[in-house]
């Protein structure tokens, strides 16, 4: 049973994240922080969801 309240303004396909809604490709957070791991980002792959939290083992 899915108890996640999907924020349909934030799409997410990272199922390994604690905030991912298991049955929907959305995030459960009200907002996220996007950052970069590059000094001069030039492509999408240079950005990161800094709100990512790994799921805990069950």
Q: pLDDT tens for residues 1-58?
A: 356 899 999 999 999 999 999 889 999 999 999 999 999 999 999 999 999 999 986 5
Q: Where are the domains of the chain?
A: 7-49
**Around Cβ 20, how many Cβ atoms within 10 Å?**
22
pLDDT at residue 27 in the model: 97
**Around Cβ 44, how many Cβ atoms within 10 Å?**
6
Q: What's the predicted TM-score (pTM) here?
A: 0.79
Phi/psi class of residue 41: alpha, beta or left (left: φ > 0; alpha: ψ in -120 to 50)? beta
Contacts of 43 (CB under 8 A, 6+ apart): none
**Around Cβ 22, how many Cβ atoms within 10 Å?**
13
Contact between residue 10 and residue 19 where contact means Cβ atoms under 8 Å apart: no
pLDDT at residue 51 in the model: 97
pLDDT at residue 1 in the model: 38
């Amino acid at each position: 049973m899915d108890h996640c309240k999907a924020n349909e303004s934030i799409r997410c396909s990272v199922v390994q994240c604690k905030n991912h809604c298991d049955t929907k490709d959305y995030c459960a957070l009200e907002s996220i922080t996007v950052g970069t791991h590059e000094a001069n980002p030039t492509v999408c792959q240079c950005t990161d969801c800094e709100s990512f939290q790994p799921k805990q083992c069950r």
